[in-house]
Amino acid sequence: MAMKINKRVLAADICLIAFVLLVALVLFLLPKEQGTKVELLRGGESIGIYSLNTDISVEVKDDNGALLNTVCIKNGKAFVSYASCSGGDCAKKKPIYMEGQCIVCLPNGLTVIIRGGNGIDGVTG
Amino acid sequence: MKKRTVLLTRLALMIALSMIFSYIEHLLNLNVGIPGVKLGTANIVCLFALYRFSWYEAFGVNMGRIALSALLFGTPVSLLYSAVGGVLAFAAMLALKKTKLFGTVGVSVGGSVMHCIGQLCAATLITGSVAVFSYLPLMLVWATVFGTVTGGICLLALKRIKKP
């Protein structure tokens, strides 16, 4: 069966796809700085802030003391080395180190986010 | 009465088909580096229903599939993700279709993009942090790719499956 192609519709579709990809590209290219700290959030509340310069392994446990995740900071990068959930997607993510990057463990409600600056940069300009 | 029976049977068939797609995707467990990113083949059925039948049938297929899939293979949390993403995606697809500007591929891409945004909103609700939106750029790229593929498949289906 021959398929009729409506050029106007095709052009609109291509424009829409190009627009979405352009937005993605702009978001990718937004200037990001090397982070200095790692903040761990659980359920929206901060449970710890660690320096990216110090190698450390942090165990995140639930209220009953059961291990949920292990977050490692090594060579200036942070990653999740263990996740108690069945999916374990967060443990497969590459190490993060740029400001604003994050690793989320949805089943355990954990967010690992890279923070930048030292608090003074935020008020300049 | 006959009309209602036809509607019910058609809805049941389409929900069953979209659930099979959901199940196959669940088995494939596609990993593109972001949790929760899926090909979205189940959306082909919803899109097909939107073009071939009516918006309420398409909405019924979408919601029926989301509820039943969550009951069978999901959790309350996954239901929240699917429901928020599904409703936003459906609203976007319906709005884009109503403009009569876009084809099935454009409508499908719009739906995919809004599905991602909906899922990120749900993730923000659960984690309490907007940091999850840092996944957005990569998710937009995948949404475009997968939306184009599923929209293309739906277009082929619409051309090849004769009207009843």
pLDDT in tens, B29-73: 766 656 667 788 889 999 999 999 999 999 999 999 999 988 887
pLDDT reported for residue A21: 95
The one-letter amino acid code at B125 reads L
Is the pLDDT at B154 greater than 90, yes or no?
yes
Task: Report the distance separating Cα B106 and Cα B93, nearest Å.
Answer: 9
Q: In the block, which residue shows the tokens 């180190």?
A: A97
Distance from CA of B4 to the nearest CA of A (A): 32
Which residue does chain B place closest to A109, by CA atoms? Answer: B127
User: CA torsion sign, A71 to A68 to B78 to A39?
Assistant: negative
* Per-residue confidence band for B91, with pLDDT thresholds at 50, 70 and 90: very high
Cβ <8 Å between A1 and B103:
no
Across the interface, which of A20, A43, A110 has its CB nearest the CB of B113?
Answer: A20
More confident residue, B153 or A107: B153
Kindly list the strands in the beta sheet with A37-42, ordered across the sheet, starting from the edge strand earlier in the chain.
A45-51, A37-42, A110-115, A102-105
pLDDT reported for residue A124: 36
Task: Report the distance separating Cα B66 and Cα B74, nearest Å.
Answer: 10
In the predicted model, residues of chain A with pLDDT beneath 70 are 1-4, 117-125
Across the interface, which of B31, B132, B155 has its CB nearest the CB of A102?
Answer: B132
* Cα angle: B73, vertex B79, B81; to 5 degrees: 120
Q: Check: CB of residue A17 under 8 Å from CB of residue B113.
A: no
The number of residues making up chain B comes to: 164
What single-letter DSSP state applies at residue B29?
Answer: -
At B101-142, the pLDDT tens digits run: 999 999 999 999 999 999 899 888 887 778 788 889 989 999
What single-letter DSSP state applies at residue B102?
Answer: -
Q: Which of B120, B107, B118 is nearest to B152 (CA)?
A: B107
Residues 6+ apart with CB under 8 A from B97: B50, B51, B107
pLDDT reported for residue A119: 43
More confident residue, B37 or B15: B15
Cβ <8 Å between B127 and A17:
no
pLDDT reported for residue B33: 59
Q: In the block, which residue shows the tokens 């500007």?
A: B101
| Complex ipTM value | 0.85
CB < 8 Å to B106, chain A: 9, 12-13, 16-17
pLDDT reported for residue A125: 33
